[in-house]
Amino acid sequence: MTLATVKECLNQISTFINKLPSLLDFEQVEKMINMLIYAQAANRSIFVVGAGRSGLIAKAFAMRLMHLGFHVYVIGETITPAAGKGDVLVAISGSGRTGIVVTVAQVAKQVGVKVVAVTSHPDSPLGKLSDHVVFVPGRTKISDETDYFSRQILGIHEPLAPLGTLFEIAAMVFLESIVTELMHRLGKTEEDLRARHATIEVP
């Protein structure tokens, strides 16, 4: 058992992530960071939204923002409060077409929330309605030919990682890097984050 496909996929993903810094627009990144810091300074709330696996990444980002002391909420949770002018919504969707994410962003705009899109498609519906877009690369669609070996025979050289996997991994790494930068700018240490970590957890 050689696990050749596992090894090749691991190599593709690690190569993709290694290239990520050269694919990002750091002016876009800087603006996103400033929007988050400004909202916190103004005692406003940060909301996050994503669907499926992107939703899990949104929750992970929200957890870290909470550890940093932000007023942060996940759209769809029962304790999420009303949003209003001056708040920020971070909307995560590789395709920029995910129905629930686009709908949430539209409603957010109507009540004066600033929308930051994290997407691979700036020209998508989500990108077009957002106040700010951060481009995070990734493969969000599959070929019409879904069999891996058939694609190789036909010369269709697509990543092994299925569907939105590359975007999701890239978005996770990118947002964790944002957290690290926020720690630096806000003068927070790992001990500060640990102090806000959950003390009541489900066993």
Start-to-end Cα distance in the chain: 37
Task: Answer yes or no: 168 catalytic.
Answer: yes
Q: How many helices (H) and strands (E) does the chain have?
A: 8, 5
Residue 106 CB coordination number (10 Å): 13
Q: CA–CA separation, 113 vs 33, rounded Å?
A: 16
For residues 182, 12, 51, 32, the Cα torsion angle rounded to the nearest 10 degrees is: 30
Catalytic position from the list 8, 30, 77, 168: 168
139: which strand partners?
Answer: none
Are the C-beta atoms of residues 120 and 127 closer than 8 Å to each other? Answer: no
Question: What six digits make up the tokens of 171?
Answer: 């978005």
71: which strand partners?
Answer: 45
Query: Within 13 Å of residue 111, how many CA atoms lie on the same side as its CB?
Result: 11
Residue in the block written with tokens 């489900």? 202
Tell me the C-alpha to C-alpha distance, in Å, between residue 200 and each of 73, 74, 158, 189: 19, 19, 44, 22
Q: Which of 171, 17, 30 is nearest to 91 (CA)?
A: 171
Would you please indicate which residues are annotated as catalytic (active-site) residues? 168
